[in-house]
A and B are shown apart, each in its own frame.
Chain A
């Protein structure tokens, strides 16, 4: 059909073009010296020329708001750890220590807190941090219409400026978790000047006193910060910190391996071997402060019956569960309090292997000797579906049939709020103070008490613990409350999540703090 010569010309032209294309894929890369030169692809993204120390942190989701007053997202808090300082800080051992506060006193009745502030601290905009600024921040959190901090600070009655560096906070009643509240968003200090000037737009132009200064945010993609040259708490070693959003966990881990990221906020369980197997990386696996478990609707059949709740609770083999699902990168739980919490009690938290006779007995007492069926709501994330299947299997062995109904997260919360469910799987990220893991969840009528738990003795103990100033006495109250919760099987605590931070070994100066947030002030990159 075609002459031989023409054939050759055509084929060589076509092959030439194809080579050009494949050249685009591999060749241009291999000829690009930038990434391999420095022997670290991480420097491929930021310009490597002027030896700036740039730290790239991978986040699982977008931090939606840079304003701590209106924030509701865990990912916001990661960025805040660089932008803002707080009145109090959590020490690596879980204890509360002053941060922007220098010294403090609590009155004998537990109602008046006097804070002496650190001197010479300045906001990123150059204005002074002082007693007036503290008062402004409390008032902003308490009065701003969209404030999400009103609940944290609802016991605050008045804030008074004594002098430039001294402020007193008057509480309506004794509230032992108060200082712990000030280690989080309610204790973050924003610049009054900037907040007044920006108004609602402050979330897009945040100003704090932290080790890094806000540069820009591309919503849904990244937040860029630069070094605070005048940081009050020692020299900041990094020049820039970038937070990058990677919704795909596998891609996030591969970017850590390739050097595009230096730290990732969490490592998916299935990617742990990839991190551990890479000589350049290290995995930081520490128990977090939260828990995961099952809410029982305590007011609706079948779980208005405490024996049936207990039967389900006892039938879950916690040790097997964390092994199967998390390869032991989670701790079995039977209480709301993880290791590191004031209320952690090793004995009470210890998993008990399911005992078939005990469960049979419970079922008989609950009037369902042959077992029963219930509907379990669970969210659609793949790891939750696995969790649901494992629970279902464990219960089946004892004649309890859990019918899984997969719903979307928002739908789950709505069902919880309305009490429109029999059982649902939902946990809590956890708070430093035990009160934050218990009060809102088990006390009658509280917002996160989706199970409509109402045990007068439990209410009394938790509320008493709230007002107790003495740590040992507080712990004893939480122990007692936990025993009541376990006897009544109000909620089935299953496991405490681990915080699994993946990090390049070039990053130095990292200290793990039990809230799981990455503090960049002390970090350096070799």
Chain B
């Protein structure tokens, strides 16, 4: 419990740092926000009025602290271009991305585990080579290309699955799941490659350890040795990779989201950058940072669950 509290306390300086960096970066992008928002139709009066309205005429430090002051009170501000609270925008966009992340992760695990275990157990055989080859292929294929090919094959040529049409799960679960299959598989295939390679090498390390030899000497069969003893010990690096993967997916599914027209969190950030809606960018990145911190916390807790030695300070795999 103390561990969790300590970790949570540590997030405060991290988030402050993130907010300062985001704030400075977005103000460093060339092109005045008022100019971008007004576009070619701007009159000089409208331009000045908008600058004042957005507080752009104030010094940057003052702008930062007035923003921070509100954030501390739980107010992420009002989107400059959409005129709705940023928190509302984020809540609108987050569920789709969380669902996509979970779906992607499930696809990745369903592929990576069988393939990784097989490749490790049947090391040096055609099984190993084939899955290694497939994994390298999966890592090298850009996800937008794969996504487009899947749309053409599954939606255009054969009309088996919809090419877009996301609706929230609460609105229409069946349609939601149908629309989620292609995007989850398109990103999941790629992520599975990374997980599979990690699982394979981690298992190979463990398989050669003494306790596995002991287990086998006791007469345990292969399946029980691998699934019951080796796999659990091989999990720590896999969980680390998964954590990084999930944290990355939560903010980084922009391409999948735009190809499949899913109103996700990644797209919100990118669109807001283009629109110079920096109030939304700041809010969204802050939330993104919180999510990353939380995922890492969960990963740390999972370490302890998987390997009790970690809690007592001893290293894993000893």
Contact = CB atoms under 8 A, between A and B. Distances in A.
Nearest to A16: B114
5 contacts: A3-B221, A18-B111, A251-B148, A414-B30, A414-B31
B222 A409 contact: no
A203 B267 CA distance: 22
Interface of A: 1-3, 6-7, 9-11, 13-15, 17-18, 20-21, 24-26, 28-30, 32, 34-36, 41, 44-47, 62, 64-65, 72-73, 145-146, 148, 150-151, 200-201, 203-204, 218-222, 244-248, 250-251, 254-255, 257-261, 407-411, 413-414, 417, 426, 428, 447-448
Interface of B: 29-33, 35-44, 46-47, 49, 53, 79, 81-84, 89, 92-93, 107, 110-111, 113-115, 117-118, 121-122, 127, 144, 148, 151-152, 154-156, 158-165, 167, 172, 175, 178-179, 181, 185, 221-223, 226, 258-261, 263, 267-268, 271, 275-276
Given A72-B37, A408-B29, A447-B42, A220 B263 contact: yes
Contacts of B32: 410, 414
Given A24-B107, A408-B31, A260 B162 contact: yes
A428 B40 contact: yes
A121 to B, nearest CB: 28
Contacts of A426: 40
A171 to B, nearest CB: 19
Contact of B164 (A72, A244, A447): A244
Contacts of A20: 110
B96 to A, nearest CB: 9
State the 10 A-B residue pairs at the shortest beta-carbon distance, nearest first. Answer: A410-B31, A45-B165, A221-B263, A29-B160, A410-B36, A2-B222, A14-B114, A258-B155, A21-B110, A29-B161
B152 A254 contact: yes
B88 to A, nearest CB: 9
A221 B221 CA distance: 54
B257 to A, nearest CB: 10
B163 A258 contact: yes
Contact of A10 (B43, B121, B158): B121
B176 to A, nearest CB: 11
Contacts of B162: 35, 41, 44-45, 258, 260
Contacts of B175: 44-45, 47
B222 A3 contact: yes
Contacts of A245: 261
B160 A448 contact: no
Contacts of A6: 221-223
Contacts of A21: 107, 110-111
Contact of B258 (A9, A45, A248): A248
Contacts of A26: 154, 160
Given A145-B49, A247-B258, A408-B30, A260 B223 contact: no
A17 B192 CA distance: 14
